[in-house]
Structure 1
Amino acid sequence: MAGLSLMPLGFVIVSSAQVPPSEAIDFLVRPRIGELLWNTTRLLVGGVLLSAAIGVGAAWLVVRTDLPRPGLWHGLLCAPLAVPAFVNGFGWVSTTHAVQSFPGAVLVVSLSYYPLVYLPAVAALRRLDSSVEDVAAGLGHRPVSAFFRVVLPAISPAVLGGSLLVGLHLLGEYGALQLLNYPTLTTAILAQYASTFNGPAATLLALVLVAFCLVLLGLELLVRGRRRHARVGAGVTRTPTRHRLGVLRLPSVGALALLLVLALGIPMLSLTRWMVRGNSTTFPAGDLWASATSTLGLAVVGGALATAAAVPVAWLAVRHRRPLGTLVERSIYPANALPGIVVALALVTISIRVVPGLYQTLPVLLLGYAILFLPRAVVSVRSTFELAPPVLEDVARSLGCSGRQVARRVTLPLLLPGLTSGMALVSLAISTELTATLLLAPTAVSTLATDFWQRAASVAYGAAAPYAVLMILLSLPATVLLARAATREVQ
């Protein structure tokens, strides 16, 4: 899987090498490239920080405070996962053009991606033995101090993994940023392909995106460190301590309600308005059904494929903490930072030159999904591996269990929450993927995302709205599955 994931990077390097060094330098030092670098950098920093702050803060309120009806809030806070970023951007832009700016872009992408931090943070907080907070309180630490000195370091693998996913998605985001009129390296790459089909020049920009990805991976690895977080026992069996919000209870409820209005209310109201009042609104049942079935089938098969491929990668990275294991795990991430169209063009080029019979077939499309979204599955599976004590596997072997029996009776049950979350995350991503699907899908295959984009791009907002609504409805089961997986108690 590491080798397959590196194919798009190899394509980018080979294609970029076709540009003479003098032309490459002249191209990369243009003022426009500097502007794109600045836009990408500040969007990455702002989006990751805001998503992490929202995700961790909301998780803390739901899991560790006396917030009323936490189960309901948890379900609602997971719901934005069902709304693709480009649909969110469509809803905001069709409501107000004030979001077509840097603050607007950071706000919209953070509202779309904060659940990637919120979900693992909730799972980690529920696994965390609350007695460590009681000890901190006994040593004189107030709740805020205990959170930053004890709780946050303990849940850091989950927070860092979620933040890494947010950053990688921001590097490759196209649809939402195109609608928000916020130029980044990714939008420039697609504009370069669309206007002049200048592949080598566009892949020079893709190399810069890979550099961003490497920096992001290095920072995450540096902050994560080599500390182990697994434990043998399940900790205390009593209900975790819930802090009393007191006078902050009403402001906390108001803040969460405002967050949901911004993340869900605006796009849903916009879609409803266009379906009711749009001049181009139609409900073609046959086309909607065909797009929905193909989207669902691709999501299930692609999610299962990527999750199965993530298991050996995560196992090697956690159980064998050596340079080779780290290198294998890190090598799957650069492709996720590339725009979907670059990964798709790499697969198109390779399939035509090596196996022409596979050009524009479902296997190539599924392989593209696996390369693009394997990091989602690896982060979920790895976080579960981190908390699965290897001593349990050693005990099983000492009792006479074979390797397969240990995997089936000990390791697999411990990994099941991570496998479920990983498949749900990948399936959600596949069901809303746009650029790679446009290029790799067979001629007779279309998805809800591609049909929505074709209509929205032609300003037929009323005709596009039913596809967006159906896309959200199909994403809800996976969202519910993720919400339940994050709150499942660890035995």
Structure 2
Amino acid sequence: MSRRAVGTRPGPVVSATVGVLVAATFVPLGYVAWAVVSIGPAQAYALLVRPRVGELLVNTVSLVVITVPLCALIGVGAAWLVERTDLPGRAWWRPIFVAPLAVPAFVNSYAWTSVVPTMHGLGAGVLVSTLSYFPLIYLPVLATLRRLDPAVEETARALGSDSAAVFVRVVLPQLRLAVLGGGLLIGIHLLAEYGAFALLRFDTFTTAIFQQFQATFDGAAGSMLAAVLVLFCLVLLVIEAAARGNARYARIGSGVARSSTPLRLGANTLPAELALGGLAVLALGVPLWTIVRWLWIGGAGIWDLGDLTDALAQTAGLAAFAAIITTALAFPIAWVAVRTSGVLARSVEGANYVTSSLPGIVTALALVSVAIHLARPLYQTLALVVGAYVLMFLPRALVNVRAGLAQVPIGVEQASRSLGVSAGGTFARVTLPLTAPAAAAGASLVFVAVATELTATLLLAPTGTRTLSMRFWSLSSELDYAAAAPYALVMVVLAIPVTLVLLRQSTRLVTR
């Protein structure tokens, strides 16, 4: 029986909530469009053809074009070795290459510039970005490999294909969706990242916009840079959608996927172990060793427990509140997406993904501009900060809530309503308890994203706000690396549990 209720229509409360959220998602795009129109064609053209814009374009394009394929190569290679071969210690390698997700990119830059103070420019940006973001491809590829039917590969081998040919002709095409999806996430992260590249003295559109905002608030130059960045982001979305096409890969049959027979590495075992060991040292060992080193150098004097406790409390409180609000707002959108059909359902869900793909600095600038011109009481308030978090991270909760809601049998809700329970009562007593695990996972993802967010928080946070990322950024920008180490350590520790949850959810075998 279909889980989608035929003819179901959203009630007035759900409709109003979804309408407000969809309207809010277009604020960043509307801000950029308004800024470009208000500048005028002549001035806009003059601002676009500046040598500075060309330099930023070359830097940003080069960063994306080099980093994404490198991440794909490393992510697919590591996942294949861990999942498809008889590599010793596979159970240990599997989580090790997810763990870099717990280290924010700007903390990674802090670590590498501590080890090599002369690191800067494109090469440094590619290195830090690759080591920070390759798990975004490794994780979905690992999950896909665990779900592929090994019978197809075994048939290809029986027909005379060697392991390399089987991988290229059979396995790799089935990994396309995972690689493209992960590559898109990496590209968006590269466009949005500020702290990592600022520490590396590598200029991208995001760093330039931030500098322009600090120099001249709401300036024309910054608005045009934001417009180019938004256009770049939309181009990435179109490229990913075109490359993905309508491809879908599914296994025919029921039951849990049978595990494949691991390929014997033989003489290649040692080189594979050395390669993975080197990757682990670069991606995880360097940042952790650097943090521990600075903690040791700083000694007890760097542990300002009062300031650290205050920053932790503010971060946890802000992240928890934003996670609860964001997850709660994900429910009406998920309900429309799951329980209705047609253009409305797709448009409501898609609008949130497009907006969340925009760099955080664009969302922050849009909300600042709207608050100053249309709702000044919201300026420099936590409400505006939380609003930015909702726009930026709503899909992280939406994906999980949508999946959980889709698993709730329609018949159970209909039985509740037939017994005289109101729609609200049915949701509270039936739907919510059944979707609670999925909603909790989504809230956890939002919590960690907010706890480690930097750019939008720097622009929007009210005076006196001192989150872990803000305190870390303030101290590391002053080159006080020892004092920044405790804040880096706490951020990593906060992110570890959610990283492990991601690994568990992504690698578990599902019943078809």
Q: Write the distance in 2 (CA, Å) between the matches of 1:102 and 1:403.
A: 61
Confirm whether residue 21 of structure 1 aligns to residue 41 of structure 2.
yes
- What's 1:443 paired with? 463
Confirm whether residue 471 of structure 1 aligns to residue 491 of structure 2.
yes
Q: Write the distance in 2 (CA, Å) between the matches of 1:3 and 1:404.
A: 33
1:247–1:309 CA distance, 2 compared to 1 (3 A): farther
Confirm whether residue 489 of structure 1 aligns to residue 509 of structure 2.
yes
- What's 1:332 paired with? 352
- What's 2:169 paired with? 149
- What's 2:271 paired with? 251
Q: Write the distance in 1 (CA, Å) between the matches of 2:322 and 2:503.
A: 21
- What's 2:159 paired with? 139
Residues 354-402 of structure 1, C-alpha deviation per residue, up to 9 Å, x if partnerless?
A: 44444333332222112122344556778x69xx9x9x99xx66x8874
1:201–1:410 CA distance, 2 compared to 1 (3 A): same
Between 410-419 and 39-48, the greater mean CA deviation after superposition: 410-419
Confirm whether residue 200 of structure 1 aligns to residue 243 of structure 2.
no
Decide whether the 8 Å contact of 1:80 with 1:115 is kept in 2.
Answer: yes
Confirm whether residue 294 of structure 1 aligns to residue 314 of structure 2.
yes
Written as runs of structure 1 = structure 2, the 5 A alignment for 1:380-459 is 402=414, 422-459=442-479
Residues 128-177 of structure 1, C-alpha deviation per residue, up to 9 Å, x if partnerless?
A: 22222222223333222222333233333332222111111101111001
1:198–1:424 CA distance, 2 compared to 1 (3 A): same
Written as runs of structure 1 = structure 2, the 5 A alignment for 1:89-488 is 89-229=109-249, 233-235=253-255, 238-278=258-298, 282-307=302-327, 309=329, 327-377=347-397, 402=414, 422-488=442-508
Decide whether the 8 Å contact of 1:18 with 1:200 is kept in 2.
Answer: no
Residues 441-489 of structure 1, C-alpha deviation per residue, up to 9 Å, x if partnerless?
A: 3434321000111111222222111111111111111112112222222
- The alignment's TM-score, normalised by the length of structure 1, stands at 0.87
Secondary structure class of the residue paired with 2:457: helix
Q: Write the distance in 1 (CA, Å) between the matches of 2:506 and 2:351.
A: 27
Query: Following TM superposition, by how much is the alpha carbon of 1:319 offset from its aligned partner in structure 2, in angstroms?
Result: 9.2
The partner residue of 1:79 within 99, 116, 125 is 99
Residues 382-441 of structure 1, C-alpha deviation per residue, up to 9 Å, x if partnerless?
A: 8x69xx9x9x99xx66x8874999999999999889766644443332111112112323
Q: Write the distance in 1 (CA, Å) between the matches of 2:248 and 2:34.
A: 39
AA matched with 1:426: V
Decide whether the 8 Å contact of 1:420 with 1:485 is kept in 2.
Answer: no
Residues 294-349 of structure 1, C-alpha deviation per residue, up to 9 Å, x if partnerless?
A: 22233344345445555676787799896665554443345445443332232233
Q: Write the distance in 2 (CA, Å) between the matches of 1:56 and 1:308.
A: 35
Secondary structure class of the residue paired with 2:302: coil
Decide whether the 8 Å contact of 1:344 with 1:368 is kept in 2.
Answer: yes
AA matched with 1:186: T
Larger Rg: 2
Q: Write the distance in 1 (CA, Å) between the matches of 2:197 and 2:438.
A: 31
Decide whether the 8 Å contact of 2:397 with 2:439 is kept in 1.
Answer: yes
Query: Following TM superposition, by how much is the alpha carbon of 1:14 offset from its aligned partner in structure 2, in angstroms?
Result: 1.2
Query: Following TM superposition, by how much is the alpha carbon of 1:218 offset from its aligned partner in structure 2, in angstroms?
Result: 0.8
Decide whether the 8 Å contact of 1:92 with 1:267 is kept in 2.
Answer: yes
Q: Write the distance in 2 (CA, Å) between the matches of 1:142 and 1:409.
A: 56
Residues 99-145 of structure 1, C-alpha deviation per residue, up to 9 Å, x if partnerless?
A: 31312211101111112222222222222222222222233332222
- Tell me the C-alpha RMSD between the 2 structures: 3.4
Query: Following TM superposition, by how much is the alpha carbon of 1:255 offset from its aligned partner in structure 2, in angstroms?
Result: 1.0
Secondary structure class of the residue paired with 1:433: coil
Decide whether the 8 Å contact of 1:157 with 1:224 is kept in 2.
Answer: yes
Q: Write the distance in 2 (CA, Å) between the matches of 1:181 and 1:403.
A: 61
Query: Following TM superposition, by how much is the alpha carbon of 1:32 offset from its aligned partner in structure 2, in angstroms?
Result: 1.6
Q: Write the distance in 1 (CA, Å) between the matches of 2:350 and 2:385.
A: 23
AA matched with 1:166: I
1:104–1:210 CA distance, 2 compared to 1 (3 A): same
Confirm whether residue 3 of structure 1 aligns to residue 23 of structure 2.
yes
Decide whether the 8 Å contact of 1:63 with 1:125 is kept in 2.
Answer: yes
Query: Following TM superposition, by how much is the alpha carbon of 1:228 offset from its aligned partner in structure 2, in angstroms?
Result: 3.7
Secondary structure class of the residue paired with 1:242: coil
1:268–1:444 CA distance, 2 compared to 1 (3 A): same
Q: Write the distance in 2 (CA, Å) between the matches of 1:59 and 1:347.
A: 40
Decide whether the 8 Å contact of 2:367 with 2:388 is kept in 1.
Answer: yes
Q: Write the distance in 2 (CA, Å) between the matches of 1:12 and 1:370.
A: 19
- What's 2:74 paired with? 54
1:343–1:168 CA distance, 2 compared to 1 (3 A): same
Unaligned runs of 5+ in 2: 1-20, 418-425
Between 352-361 and 293-302, the greater mean CA deviation after superposition: 352-361
The partner residue of 1:66 within 80, 86, 101 is 86
Q: Write the distance in 2 (CA, Å) between the matches of 1:20 and 1:371.
A: 28
1:420–1:51 CA distance, 2 compared to 1 (3 A): farther
Q: Write the distance in 1 (CA, Å) between the matches of 2:147 and 2:289.
A: 37
Q: Percent identity?
A: 48
